[in-house]
Structure 1
Amino acid sequence: MNDFDALLDEAAAVSLDGWDFSWFAGRATEQRPSWGYADLVAERLTTAGRALDVQTGGGEVFAYAIDKARAPGLLVATEAWMPQVARTRVPTVVATAGLPFSDGAFDLVVSRHPVNTDWAGTARVVRETGIFLSQQIGAGSNRELSEAMMGPLPPPDRQHPEQIRAAAEAAGFEVVQLKAERLRAEFYDIGAVAHFLRKVVWTVPGFTIEKYRDRLRAVHEEITVKGMFVSHATRVLIEARKWA
């Protein structure tokens, strides 16, 4: 078995539970947005009596913010994937892909990397003058990695900052801040690439190691020559206030 096969076997054996990226230490890095999303959530929690985290995943980010803010009041999260629900660190988790809450139930709604944002539903559950704070996956995120697997792709047609602004305003929010950054990601071995694609499923929909083995070998050869494979993530921060 050569290094390529061994690295792919290792990647295939890694658990996909949770949203913990510690396995990538020394094998891949990703630049973080300058705004510090988790700390922003913690800051907003200090003045929110009732807060909701939508699509919390394993709850790691929300739990960090709760601990840092020593947040009182009602703290709720939603998550649709049952393995995540079972292991989340957030005290109260509702197993749902929707927003089954009463109108104006929350002072603050947050969401990190939502698969989709239900703008109308979010506006409904936020009280008047309440805040929605979200770090979203921007247009064309990790396009280099997607195209390495799937070949040339058409330009992305959504998730540009101004499209996010328009969706928020159409739902009745006033945008307080909107920022976008392009962030460098480096992968130092093909195992890290394969595990990332298994975990971050929207990068290459339907990805499996066997299906994309030939493409993975080409990336492995590039890493062997250059020492890394470079891609770029895009992130958009939006903070919006609801008005009547």
Structure 2
Amino acid sequence: MLIRNYHPSDCKEIAELFYNTVHTINAKDYTKEQLNVWATGQVDLKKWNQSFLDHYSVVAVEGKRIIGFGDIDKTGYLDRLYVHSDYQKQGVATAICDALEQTAHGNITTHASITARPFFEKRGYKIVKEQQVKRQEILLTNFVMEKEMTPDEFKKLWKKEEETAHIHGWDFSHIHNRYREEDDLPWDYEKIIRQYLRKNMKVLDYDTGGGEFLLTLNHPFEKTAATEGYPPNVELCKKTLLPLGIDFKSCNTPSTIPFEPESFDIIINRHGDFHAKELYRLLKKDGLFITEQVGGENDRDLVEMVLPNTEKLFPHLNLAEQRKIFEDAGFHIIQAEEAYRPIIFYDVGAFVWFAHIIEWEFPGFSVEKCFDALLKMLKIVTDGGCIKGTIHRYLLVAKKQTQ
């Protein structure tokens, strides 16, 4: 089972799931007349889609089938939570609710049906009141319920994020819509590559991750090569890139890349390691190295929030020093830019997940160790809506000069 963010293309399938679930699972607690006005089978898909987009909304997927969905708004109102009738009591609702509750800044409220009431009670929700809701002159009973989000409750949620913090390729979709970064850089890395890349050129993507970005270039596979050193991603690349005919090789030493001299017209590298002299060896005459890199000041304000006085690991990663290294290695710099831009988290759980994924920037980070600092972050989110940090990026386009 996969929990992912809602897509507009999900709406029709979700509406069908909603109708079928209400008319099967809720039938033991409501009359046929009540079910018919609750789920009429005539959902306004345009309005539903907009409401899902306005809220934080997720779906549970098994294979290609949506088996559950839920959404919560910015005030902490958990609006909808439904699970397919074939997947009841299999942890689907729990997984969806875990994801939704992560975004809360304070107490969470919901209007629970008679059927859903026991589920929410087990999660610590208390009944505020029982009420009768009128639909087409028919009354339906539900319960206004509230979960008090104490520090201990937040700790439980954040530890769940800690436990789920792993990555497939270089995929941050787990916190999509819960954070943002790199959407306002003064350059477009992909556009710059396409400016120089021609179909007859041989290209290498060093530190390709899972090959996600490389594949978006749609370059002829027979003229495409890639390397990766992180073991889980190496296995992923073997499964996804090699069958396509891409020349993939495992490599975690940028000073000894396993290709022959002057093999490539262009070498690209986004947020990976590199060695200027080795790149010079691999490039053909007038070949280009195009890279967007994470600078040494990246996320430092966030690091200070949770791990004050942490030593800077990569102080040399800045445009001035790296430009000189490439010039000394025999490159002519065609383009060089540097930028500091915001990174924003809309809930603390997203930051917890992020800090574990980028573990080299947050050495020794854990919810337990940094709990007091995380509570301070929570207050910042509650008061201001988000946590803000600063990313550091630089771009180099370097051309191999021959003697």
Alignment TM-score, normalising by the size of structure 2:
0.56
Structure 2 equivalent of residue 97 of structure 1: 252
Structure 1 equivalent of residue 345 of structure 2: 187
Structure 1 equivalent of residue 378 of structure 2: 220
Mean Cα displacement is larger for which, 5-14 or 19-28? Answer: 5-14
Residue type of the alignment partner of 1:87: L
In the alignment, does 2:276 pair up with 1:119?
A: yes
SS in 2 for 1:101: coil
Structure 2 equivalent of residue 230 of structure 1: 388
In the alignment, does 2:255 pair up with 1:106?
A: no
Residue type of the alignment partner of 2:252: A
Mean Cα displacement is larger for which, 172-181 or 92-101? Answer: 92-101
CA distance in 2, matches of 1:193, 1:15: 14
CA distance in 2, matches of 1:206, 1:74: 42
- String of CA shifts for 1:212-240, please: whole Å, max 9, x gaps: 33332332232222221100101101000
Deviation at 1:154, TM superposition (A): 6.6
Give percent identity, aligned residues only. 26
SS in 1 for 2:156: helix
Q: Among residues 12, 18, 22, which one is paired with 2:173 in the alignment?
A: 22
Consecutive unaligned residues of structure 2, counting only runs of 5 or more, are: 1-151
CA distance in 2, matches of 1:59, 1:47: 18
Mean Cα displacement is larger for which, 206-215 or 96-105? Answer: 206-215
- The alpha-carbon distance between structure 1 residues 92 and 101, as it changes in their structure 2 partners (threshold 3 A), is closer
Q: Among residues 314, 317, 325, which one is paired with 1:167 in the alignment?
A: 325
Task: Give the aligned length.
Answer: 240
Structure 2 equivalent of residue 79 of structure 1: 228
- The alpha-carbon distance between structure 1 residues 71 and 14, as it changes in their structure 2 partners (threshold 3 A), is same
SS in 1 for 2:352: helix
In the alignment, does 2:210 pair up with 1:55?
A: no
In the alignment, does 2:300 pair up with 1:131?
A: no
Consecutive unaligned residues of structure 1, counting only runs of 5 or more, are: none
CA distance in 2, matches of 1:227, 1:4: 19
C-alpha root-mean-square deviation of aligned residues, in Å?
2.1
Is the CA contact (8 Å cut-off) linking 2:307 and 2:365 kept in structure 1?
Answer: no
- The alpha-carbon distance between structure 1 residues 47 and 206, as it changes in their structure 2 partners (threshold 3 A), is farther
Structure 2 equivalent of residue 240 of structure 1: 398
SS in 1 for 2:191: helix
CA distance in 2, matches of 1:180, 1:242: 21
Alignment TM-score, normalising by the size of structure 1:
0.89
